Chains A and B, each alone.
Chain A
Amino acid sequence: MATETHDAGHAAAGPAMPQLDFATFPNQIFWLVVTLVVIYLVLSRVALPRIDAILSDRQGTITNDIAAAEDLRTRAKEAEAAYEKALADAKAEAQRIAAEAKAEIQKDLDAAMAKADEEIAERASESEQAIAEIRAGARDAIEAVARDTAGDIVAAMGASADADTVTAAVAERVKG
């Protein structure tokens, strides 16, 4: 295109495309080789080993951390199991103690019940005896009243009967 008029200072020579100006090739090639060698040295001596070390370090750290996490998890599980076991033991112990206490109480209760039953039976027999006495007393009294009344009735009817006969008859009737 238009390199001929413009910028005549350093573009006077050379074709329209500076890329095809072969006079500059040795310069470019020389500096390119220098550049590539320097970059190669920087990369292969410093940068690449360092990044490689960083990456493997990180991999190691990650592996270690995962192993540590696994270990911690195992330990947590063990702790949980131990806790569960302790809880179960405590429960069993508590049940045993409760059962023991219950049995003791039952024993005391049984004893108290037996004693109470005995007392009740005693009282009941006493009462029965008293009732029997009262009943016997009542029968005697009825007999006496009946005898007297029968004697009085016989006398009032004008008949006479001796006391033994009346007594026998009343006794016979009362019994019947």
Chain B
Amino acid sequence: MGKAFFWVIMVLVLISGFAFAPEKAELAIHPMDQFIVKPLFGYGEVGAFTITNVTLWMFFAVLAVTALMVLGTRSREIVPGRGQSVAELAYGFVYKMVEDVAGKDGVRFFPYIMTVFMYILMANFLGLIPSSFTTTSHIAVTAILGFGVFFAVTILGFVLNGSKFLGLFWITSAPLPLRPVLAIIELISYFVRPVSHSIRLAGNVMAGHAVLKVFAGFAGALGLFAFVPVFAVTAIYALEVLVSFIQAYVFTILTCVYLKDALHPSH
């Protein structure tokens, strides 16, 4: 069955290569066009409250989160069905992460971390739908997330520990002459955190989508041999599915690590 299907696809690819070969093969690839923010209705300037494709796909992310976490669990079964299993899995996954990394007293921040995780996960997955818009591919979005975590954690650290929070940079286990040097390094790395935290996510998602677009452009230009980039696109797409989850996971676990620093600043 699978083999027959494979060969049917191959034949279709060949036929389409002959039938729809572009008259003038050209490399008209615009891999970054997919990231353009534009108003959903009409043209014009993008103001702060304009309803744009960003709005649309963030709304879809809200819908997806609600569908999974609320509709999926509405029957509250003791023996869960598929939807409820996934919802419980996501809950247990993040809950355990918070508990293991940030500690028992980090659990009260679990809803916030779950919010961030579910949003990034759903935005990443929705972005993989062809011709969709990926909200997490934008620095503006991930920077708000990253700096949000940074400021929340820093303020929390000072509120909970007072000046002891500065002990995070003054490493008492190191020899005294080294401590100022280490303090400078620690300070720099602390302030670089939100930058790497946000650029990692946006960069991964953007790069993956751009590569997909480039290969898809090759498919248009190659005519008969389009199947080569089509297979490449398939492979990269599979990789992107993995990256979508892994980046959401990485963002969340780093949030937990930073939270741990705020709760227990001593090394």
Contacts and interface: CB of A to CB of B under 8 A. Distances in A.
Interface in B93-118: 110-112, 114-116, 118
A119 interface: no
A54 B88 contact: yes
Contact of A28 (B61, B69, B111, B141): B141
Interface string B78-93: 1010001001100110
A10 B36 contact: yes
A1 B140 contact: no
A53 B29 CA distance: 51
Interface stretch (B39-47, B159-167, B183-191, B234-242): B39-47
B27 to A, nearest CB: 9
Contacts of A53: 76
B33 A55 contact: no
B33 A3 contact: yes
B140 A25 contact: yes
A90 interface: no
B221 interface: no
Interface string A14-58: 101111110111111111111110111011101110111111011
A19 B48 contact: no
A51 B73 contact: yes
Contact of B32 (A1, A27, A28, A38): A1
Leading 5 A-B pairs by shortest Cβ distance: A47-B69, A26-B48, A24-B37, A18-B35, A35-B58
Contact of B31 (A1, A10, A52): A1
A146 B70 CA distance: 142
Interface stretch (B131-139, B150-158, B222-230): B131-139
Contacts, number: 154
B65 interface: yes
B87 A39 contact: no
Contact of B78 (A1, A39, A58): A58
Contact of A51 (B38, B43, B69): B69
B212 interface: no
A23 to B, nearest CB: 6
Best-surrounded residue of B28, B32, B76 (most CB of chain A within 10 A) = B32
Contact of B76 (A30, A36, A38, A57): A57
Nearest to B79: A58
B119 A27 contact: no
A30 B38 CA distance: 15
A2 interface: yes
B111 A54 contact: no
B99 to A, nearest CB: 13
A134 interface: no
A27 B47 contact: yes
Contacts of A39: 61-62, 65, 115, 118-119
Contacts of B62: 35, 38-39, 42
A7 to B, nearest CB: 6
Contact of B91 (A14, A31, A48): A48
Nearest to B48: A26
A52 B58 CA distance: 26
A37 to B, nearest CB: 9
A152 to B, nearest CB: 132
Contact of B66 (A16, A17, A31, A42): A42
B209 to A, nearest CB: 11
Nearest to A26: B48
A63 interface: no
Nearest to A53: B76
B117 to A, nearest CB: 10
A7 B30 contact: yes
A158 interface: no
9 contacts: A3-B30, A18-B32, A19-B35, A19-B138, A19-B140, A27-B50, A31-B54, A48-B91, A54-B78
B248 interface: no
Contacts of A25: 140
Given A18-B35, A21-B37, A61-B78, A9 B43 contact: yes
Interface string A55-81: 101100100000000000000000000
